[in-house]
Structure 1
Amino acid sequence: MSQNHLPQFQKAFLHPKYWGFWLGLGLYWLILCLPYPILLKIGKGLGLLFSKLKVGKRRAKIAQRNLELAFPDMSVQERSEILQANMQNVGMAVIETGMAWFWSDRRIKKWSKAEGVEYLKKCAKDGIILVGVHFLTLELGARIIGLHHPGIGVYRPNDNPIMNWLQTWGRMRSNKDLLDRKNLRGMIKALRQGEMIWYAPDHDYGRKSAVFIPFFAVQDAATTTGSYYLLKSSPNSKVIPFAPLRNKDNSGYTLTISPPVDFTDLSDEREIAIRMNKIVEQEILMDIKQYMWLHRRFKTEQDGDDGKKYR
């Protein structure tokens, strides 16, 4: 499979203006060489630091509002505890991204286990829509699953050219190829060829190609109709959810791959989106504290007054 469409390393990246970047990357790599228990402490410390910064406080406010909207019956104390843990997990995500990109296969295997790989093997020739949500562990989860069953990653290109190359290099350690998240045609082609694509339908991607349906307690959450187009164009593909989570006892990570979910009884884009949201909800409920609550999931409004839930 040709990878010429992916960002390539450029000699311009060695220009003196990037030397600070390379120095920082080298220090980051040295930190990642430390034992995992120490990395845990560093990551949680970074999370506490992030929560005290202006940008962190702004993001914490968004996360708090998301929790209020999604779980209105939850006590204020419980939501507060989730938010505090979530901020620590944001810091740990910085470490886990580096682990995903720079750790050896041996070290990844030492600190992780995968359950349900047999579902991927059984559906290997059909094409697999691997439903993963935006857990803070998502980079590491992609690396873990790639050790057992590599597929096609879906990503958003970075505006910074050197970061775009770096994230591509890191993610290609566990993927056959990467596709821009807007490249629906490429995803369909890959599925028809029996490939596995990573698919995250949990964010608010805007008004275009969206339906407004329930997501947790919010009854009108903008939800992508991409699921409908993928299933319509590759009807033999299997929808398989997975969740990569840090173990509660800090012993490493467990990647849980669930059985395929049947969509063959549905043909309406709204009904397909509703079922897909139920899958997403089930994954998030596996550990609410590790989900990425920092983005404005409920920003897009059906009446056009976008962002009113966050005012």
Structure 2
Amino acid sequence: MPRPIFSRSLLAPRHWPAWLGVGVIWVIAHMPYSLLMFVGRRLGAIVLRIPSARRHIAQVNIGLCFPELDAAAQAALVDRNLRDIGLMLVEFALGWMASDRAMARIPLSIEGLEHLESARAQGKGVLLVGGHFSHLELCARLVSERIRIAGMYRKMDSTVFEWTVLRARLHYAEAMFDKDDIRGTVKHLRNGGTLWYAPDQDMRSKDSVFAPFFDVPAATITATHHLARMSGAMVIPFFHRRLPNGRGYALRLGAPLENFPGADARVDTARVNASIEQMVREAPEQYLWVHKRFKTRPLGQPDVYERKASQERSV
């Protein structure tokens, strides 16, 4: 896939603030790893103290998904998750713009490559199915140093960031497919390609079903079922987590989901959600709880994110 073409229109004055943002990201990405992690933790401390609707979203999500925790434990998990956003910001910068030499110095362990090798020996494409963890962009680049992968993405609103980020991703990815480019994605998988994919956000798509996620009905796109059905690809869970004390990242490829796809898209989608839930339980503070995962509700059920008047007065 060719890199995006640069247009002189991107230099127009209206784009200068975006270019300034790109410059800041570049500076962050070229910091030494230990310093970058320190900056991320400081940013996380700032995020924790800034009043934001994102805190309320995280509180709701964690309350729904971890009812077994008491109020104090839930609040502590919310705080850890908000702190993690600071690390997420610097890890996105690192994944997009760090040099290959800097990436090679990041501590990394990876398990389960034998599952991918087995799929390739059978001439099968592979869907690496993961979740929206804070370090997903960085870990996609880290795993690409071991295996050739493609990805799916949603176009950015800023033309400057769209050009910059797509160009950066194509530095390490074999291809990047727009989320609506089903034909190109299926062709890539049929040709034995490997695609990283995260179906765990509420996309408000007509191709969604309600499937349990932490025992809560979650509107989930059925694309994993359909992509596997149309391409014959194996579906392999892909989990990644940040290790404590600057010890880098642990990546794991699980065994392929057996008898997937089945005859029922709803059942398959529930299996995918269960796999992602298992990943989240291993590192819950690193998951993107600030996304409105349960925004779409089953018919007749109330909006879980709506604030009550008493809550609004207390903020």
Residues 25 and 232 of structure 1, relative CA distance in 2, 3 Å threshold: closer
Change (3 A) 1:13 1:267: same
Which residue in 1 is equivalent to 2:76?
81
| Rounded Cα–Cα distance in structure 1 between residues aligned with 2:66 and 2:4 | 41
1:157 aligned onto 2:152: no
Distance in 2, matches of 1:187 and 1:11, equals 30
Query: What TM-score do the two structures reach when normalised by structure 2?
Result: 0.90
The answer for the alignment partner of 1:47 in structure 2 is 44
Residue 17 of structure 1, CA deviation: 3.7
Secondary structure of the corresponding residue to residue 102 of structure 2: helix
Distance 1:159 1:30, change over 3 A: closer
Where do 1:1-311 residues align within 5 Å?
A: 2-3=1-2, 7-54=4-51, 57-111=52-106, 112-124=108-120, 125-218=123-216, 220-235=217-232, 237-264=233-260, 266-303=262-299, 308-311=303-306
Residue 184 of structure 1: CA displacement? 2.2
> How far does residue 304 in structure 1 lie from its aligned partner after superposition?
6.3
Q: Does the 8 Å contact 1:132/1:199 carry over to 2?
A: yes
- In the alignment, structure 1 segments of 5+ residues that lack a partner are none
The Cα offsets for residues 239-298 of structure 1, whole Å up to 9 and x where unpaired, read as: 111122110232111212222221347211111111111111111112011000111101
Contact 1:72–1:217 (Cα < 8 Å) also in 2: no
SS at match of 2:282: coil
Q: Deviation per CA, 1:206-244, whole angstroms, max 9, x where unpaired?
A: 1511111211031x2212111221122123x11111122
Task: Compute the displacement of 1:51 (Å).
Answer: 3.2
- Supply the distance in 1 between the matched residues of 2:197 and 2:261 (Cα, whole angstroms): 21
Return the alpha-carbon distance in structure 1 between the equivalents of residues 17 and 269 of structure 2: 45
SS of equivalent residue, structure 1 residue 134:
coil
Give 5+ residue unaligned stretches, structure 2. 307-315
Distance in 2, Cα, partners of 1:291 & 1:226: 21
Distance 1:240 1:118 in 2: 11
RMSD of aligned C-alpha atoms?
1.9
Q: Find the aligned partners of 2:248 and 2:261 in 1 and give their Cα distance.
A: 38
Change (3 A) 1:38 1:222: same
Cα gap change, 1:300/1:104 in structure 2, threshold over 3 Å: closer, same or farther? same
- The CA distance in 2 between the partners of 1:264 and 1:39, in whole Å, is 41
**Cα gap change, 1:83/1:191 in structure 2, threshold over 3 Å: closer, same or farther?**
same
> Take 1:73 and 1:145, find their aligned partners in 2: how far apart are those partners?
34
State the alpha-carbon separation in 1 of the partners of residues 294 and 214 from structure 2: 11
